Structure 1
């Protein structure tokens, strides 16, 4: 894992102010922890089998091995809040040190997370947050405003700043997706008055559902000029549909994707550019934040600082938020430099 990728690609990044995984992986011995349940860091992504979360868990496991804890990943196959609750309850019963979760709903997980915290489990959200009262820290990939604006800027550049655009999101109750969509709509209305966001549809972070929703969008909106998909599952499914359709090269597609998923679609001209932070680094940072909480080095208060291994020092911001940094815009010219 190369943790200098974010820094090494800063010159090509678009500046931003702004989902078959492992079931359980044991960490090795090290100098940073005892390896008992108090040093167990449990990752709970939105769903298993999602390349984005495979990558974030790889980073999390690398971090946990580095500080000498025990790593495990658990989770549902479907990205719903109800499916995450049993895993939260189990983590509380086992008395793990910390639970690192990408939430499928901002409030529905609250009772379960409160019980886990009452049992002494530190709760760190990453990628998708819950209401702040239910967790100790939120490790954010970038600011919501920056993520939203970047995606609108990318599609606007590709369609000449005018025309109909649709959004293919993940689940209808996904915290991060909804925040980005609201901001995309506001930003487009302000900065690109000739762009009309005609519809938002939800693929539920399922490949086939997202593929079918793409087809339906193109049928419902024959004048559609662009699609924004702020989800790695959605953008890959949409690209797969477009790549063999009459719309290839006619309908622009951008959003948030991983290089390994999207490389072929950049190379064949289906997609021109998309953005993402490094999900391995996001998982790595979340694991170190959890470790700092478990060790008592931080409490999650604004101004707390902690060391995140190869990523360096981070500071907790307002509302218990830690921001990873600036994502990268991927094009055919630089996608070969990345492997995640």
Structure 2
């Protein structure tokens, strides 16, 4: 803590001297053009110099801030990240709200700033609602990593993306299209209306549907279950009541797909309405084995949390800045390269069905 405070003091003193020198040339109002960019957060990464050979710092403190604290999927991600931190002698914790509303994460970020964490990892409920406090965190030297659901690009240094957003969105349409013979009405059961990842995937789903091979398929509704089990269950019921001839539902959220499967499993629609989307094997095993769901997709959430922890540590240790082309090692997962806009991609999702679901336990 003392080192960080002293560094901030030296930075402020240097900035004041530069400002005084520049006053003859420009109207110095306390913020230069570069400072404004740095205050925005994201652009600061490109101005710093990475040292990929720098050792990981010891005793790093980091916190995972999920969309909501009781989300089973996010719990898997965060627990894996917390365990990963121990492997490089850091400490990590999970904090967060019990609801997934747009502004629910803000107070937690403010508290983490006060605690002077070395890094904050956030799965954003809204890409912009968290930006103010995250920019304040970065101004104070705290590294910010988004994972699972991104913030606006200038509100973090790195985004850990579970897979290519385009691959996820298009593949979900491809899968359900094949399952329903490329004919009929479909609906989407999403999480919250502002969830960055959900909306990005849905945009790619809509783009995929423009392909002529889907001319006999129609997206009739995007419903929102707010990553709440009961609301997602009710939204599934509402979709089937509103569209009794519905052929398929895509739910790109682990809470939503499990709730929808539970509803279908005990209804007359079982075996008649196709359900696809993103889920965890442990949640979906029963429904795959009893025929309610033929298949679904996901990446390994443990690896997502593990990668997030190592990316945060690499940032805090100066190995990377978030600039495109930066490289870092993520322990057992190997080497990763930072892509455009600070994005690091974990890998391609896995499709689960009766043939392989018992090989996975998460």
Q: Is the pair's TM-score, using the shorter chain for normalization, greater than 0.5?
A: yes
1:273 corresponds in structure 2 to 295
Residue 161, structure 1, aligned to residue 185, structure 2: no
Looking at structure 2, the residues matched to 92 and 209 of structure 1 have their Cα atoms a distance apart, in angstroms, of 33
- Deviations 1:270-315, CA, capped at 9 Å, x for gaps: 0000000011100100100000000011111000000000000000
1:83 partner SS: coil
1:208 corresponds in structure 2 to 230
Pairs aligned (count) = 307
- Deviations 1:115-172, CA, capped at 9 Å, x for gaps: 1111211000001101111100000011111000111111111111110000000000
Worse overlay, 100-109 or 209-218: 100-109
Question: Which residue of the other structure, out of 316, 325, 338, is the alignment partner of 2:347?
Answer: 325
Which consecutive unaligned segments of at least 5 residues does structure 2 have? 1-54
Looking at structure 1, the residues matched to 73 and 271 of structure 2 have their Cα atoms a distance apart, in angstroms, of 26
Question: Which residue of the other structure, out of 97, 114, 125, is the alignment partner of 2:146?
Answer: 125
1:143 corresponds in structure 2 to 164
Is the Cα–Cα contact under 8 Å of residues 143 and 323 in structure 1 kept in the other structure?
A: yes
Is the Cα–Cα contact under 8 Å of residues 57 and 316 in structure 2 kept in the other structure?
A: no
Residue 88, structure 1, aligned to residue 109, structure 2: yes
1:223 corresponds in structure 2 to 245
Is the Cα–Cα contact under 8 Å of residues 159 and 343 in structure 2 kept in the other structure?
A: yes
1:189 deviates by 2.1
1:113 partner SS: helix
Residue 290, structure 1, aligned to residue 349, structure 2: no
Pair member with larger Rg: 2
Which consecutive unaligned segments of at least 5 residues does structure 1 have? 1-30
Is the Cα–Cα contact under 8 Å of residues 32 and 68 in structure 1 kept in the other structure?
A: no
- Deviations 1:205-259, CA, capped at 9 Å, x for gaps: 0000000000000000011000000000000000000000000000000000000
Looking at structure 1, the residues matched to 315 and 195 of structure 2 have their Cα atoms a distance apart, in angstroms, of 26
1:14 corresponds in structure 2 to none
1:109 deviates by 1.0
Is the Cα–Cα contact under 8 Å of residues 180 and 247 in structure 2 kept in the other structure?
A: yes
1:337 corresponds in structure 2 to 359
Question: Which residue of the other structure, out of 204, 207, 219, is the alignment partner of 1:197?
Answer: 219
Question: Which residue of the other structure, out of 57, 64, 67, is the alignment partner of 1:43?
Answer: 64
Residue 70, structure 1, aligned to residue 60, structure 2: no
2:126 corresponds in structure 1 to 105
1:153 partner SS: helix
Looking at structure 2, the residues matched to 261 and 32 of structure 1 have their Cα atoms a distance apart, in angstroms, of 36
Is the Cα–Cα contact under 8 Å of residues 127 and 141 in structure 1 kept in the other structure?
A: yes
